[in-house]
Amino acid sequence: MRGRWKGRGDDRSLKSSQTVGTADDELAEGSGDAAVSLTPPPAFTVVSAPVPAADLEADHSSAVEAGTVGTRVVDDGEAAPDAEAVSRDRQAQPGAVAGTDAVGVEVLAEEAPSTTTELPDGPGGPDGPSVPGDSAERAEPPAAGPEVDGAPERSTPAARPLPRVLAVANQKGGVGKTTTSVNLGAALAELGYRVLVIDLDPQGNATTGLGIDARNFELSMYDVIMRESSLEDCIEPTSLKNLFVAPATIDLAGAEIELVPAFSRELKLRRALEPVLDDFDYVLIDCPPSLGLITVNALAAAHEVLVPIQCEYYALEGLSQLTRNVHLVASNLNPRLEVSTIVLTMYDARTKLADQVAAEVRQHFGGKVCRNVIPRTVRLSEAPSFGQPITAFDPSSRGAIAYRELAKEVSGGTA
């Protein structure tokens, strides 16, 4: 049972929740005889005259010894002392109620059982003055944080210094690495950043997706890595302002084998990138779908890793292996390397699987997962056949809007 303190000035009444019985009554019930009519106990009277302080102390001490001071009835029928209630009323009420503890403490009134206990606002009720000794401020509920639409709040990446080198890596094929490299680079270029896309995939899809024909250039990333050609001579401009590409050809497929006996084979791309790094704000490295030496070169040269994850189950299987490799490269070759950004691609809102994969990725990686997701659209698949990023092929499509919002989230705004 729970009780509530109620008071109206100096005139207090005592309401008891217990029915007083005697030993004779219990004996009568136990023997099966007729119930004995008992005289009700005399009503308590309020002592209006002030009680001397000495008597108050003596009576209070006696009441404490007897165990009748400030008791409250609990659900299991046992009485537990309530010293805080005694202290408050002791200071608030100088009079005493006969039959109580001589300091004006009322027995808790019987009410319906409840699991909560309401505290009084004061001896005069909610509108009355506060009880002396109870002036401590009540704890305010914590302020509600910003709503994130099911995604944890990402730390603002705008504080990262430029230039930024991001390796777009995932050993799982078909998750949108090349699509993200091309279209994110184009969206960053629209924001005013100078962007270089380095194509390290022997298939050369990022090269053709930006409208560069393999027959129109002399040097490729194979020459930069294996023949130590200058990266500046390899870079080609695109049809978009501020967007450049370092193309790749099928020759890069042989570099995996040729790099095995090479000296300092893991750092070749880093050394080639250093002379031109200050000319760009963002460098996006499109990695092949493997964890070979070419991908290790990209991780050793990058500052961050951007991981595209397709919203399907298979895309999650190799993510832990990629994370281990990133930590391995960070501990041996590139201490500043970290997985900073995870992008959910090919998101189909019509399926529950996409929501389940997205929820699982957000649960494990938290704020590293971008709030903006890339939807599965036909226009994104059509754009490479025209040699254009989606922002140029269909600027008003859902895919173009998604990559523009992703570019703002990754960069923190315009240049």
CB contact at 8 A, 306 and 180: yes
- Parallel, antiparallel, or unpaired: how do β-strands 282-286 and 304-310 relate? unpaired
Distance between CA atoms of residues 81 and 277, nearest Å: 75
For residue 29, what are the CA distances in angstroms to 17, 20, 33, 38?
22, 15, 7, 13
The pLDDT, as a whole number, for residue 91 is 52
Distance between CA atoms of residues 255 and 250, nearest Å: 10
Domain assignments of the chain as residue spans, ordered by start: 1-24+41-122, 157-411
Burial (CB < 10 A; 0-12, 13-18, 19+), residue 112, is exposed
The pLDDT, as a whole number, for residue 63 is 47
The pLDDT, as a whole number, for residue 312 is 85
Residue type at 118 in one-letter notation:
E
Tokens of residue 140, six digits: 């305010």
Task: List helix spans (H) across 15-126.
Answer: 23-31, 53-66, 83-92
Per-residue pLDDT of the chain (415 residues; tens, 9 = 90+): 444 344 444 444 434 344 434 444 443 344 444 444 444 444 444 444 454 555 545 554 554 444 444 444 444 444 444 555 445 555 544 444 444 443 443 434 344 444 444 444 444 444 444 434 443 333 333 333 333 345 444 444 445 889 999 999 998 888 999 999 999 999 999 999 999 999 999 999 999 999 998 788 889 999 999 998 999 999 999 999 999 999 999 999 888 899 988 888 999 999 999 999 999 999 999 999 988 899 999 999 999 999 999 988 887 777 888 888 899 999 999 999 999 999 999 999 889 999 998 998 998 888 899 999 999 999 999 999 999 999 999 999 999 999 999 999 999 876 5
Kind and range of the H or E run holding 170: none
For residue 188, what are the CA distances in angstroms to 179, 184, 283, 301, 344?
14, 6, 11, 20, 18
The pLDDT, as a whole number, for residue 89 is 53
The pLDDT, as a whole number, for residue 279 is 94
With tokens 């023949």, the residue in question is: 227
The pLDDT, as a whole number, for residue 297 is 95
Q: Which segments within 105-148 are labelled E, that is strand?
A: none
Distance between CA atoms of residues 104 and 4, nearest Å: 15
* One CATH from 3.20.20.150, 3.40.50.300, 3.30.70.2660, 3.90.550.10 for 157-411: 3.40.50.300
The pLDDT, as a whole number, for residue 160 is 82
